[in-house]
Amino acid sequence: MKTGSLVTSFVNAYYSLTGVPVLGVSASKGGSVIAQWQPGGAYLNDTIRRMHAAFDFCAAHGIVLRHRFLLWCQGESDGDHHTAPDVYAEQFCRMYETLRRENIEHCFLIGIGEYNGPAADISYDAIRNAQYALANHRSDLTVVSRSFETMKVRGLMKDAFHYYQAGYNETGRTAGEACAVFVEKSYPLR
């Protein structure tokens, strides 16, 4: 079930700053936990299959891909299921290393938001902090937006888990702008 998208605002923001088109390969799976993204599992296998199909299409049509990045925003369901932060970090790294072997150069992370439901024992803080700790220790992982963290207090959540489109637009824009700045600084045109 799709409830909103940040992709269009991400692509538009990135393109407006770089002039470089973005080819996005969607592989999102709403409500998934990091354990479902492990090597050999259906979600990661599907992602790799989609990536290769896109790479093959580009090669067959003379489209040159300058870079291959991962834009990652996942973890709320891990908070719902009380995944331990160290387990989340270990499983994220296992998943990401698999994608690195598939020629993904860098991961851009969108931090997860706040739980907005009635359960008193659910918090996303530990998972979000585990994600940010990974970014602090890995040079191939960069946080590009923390906008979702502020959505609950600003009234931009439409239910316990999802945002109004304005929230997705803002997050996509801030992530796209941060990615553009990072790429132009870190990967000068060849």
Q: What is the pLDDT of residues 124-134, one digit of tens each?
A: 999 999 999 99
Residue with tokens 């801030």: 174
Q: What is the pLDDT of residues 73-128, one digit of tens each?
A: 999 999 999 999 999 999 999 999 999 999 999 999 999 999 999 999 999 999 99
Question: 61 by DSSP, 3-state: which?
Answer: coil
Can you name the residues that pair with 106 across neighbouring β-strands? 69
pTM for this one?
0.93
Write the DSSP symbol of residue 103: T
Can you name the residues that pair with 145 across neighbouring β-strands? 110
Inter-residue contact 112 to 74 (CB < 8 Å)? yes
Q: What is the pLDDT of residues 168-185, one digit of tens each?
A: 999 999 999 999 999 999
User: Going by C-beta distance under 8 Å and a sequence separation of 6 or more, which residues neighbour residue 4?
Assistant: 162, 163, 164, 165, 167, 168
Per the structure block, which two tokens stand in for 61? 């049509």
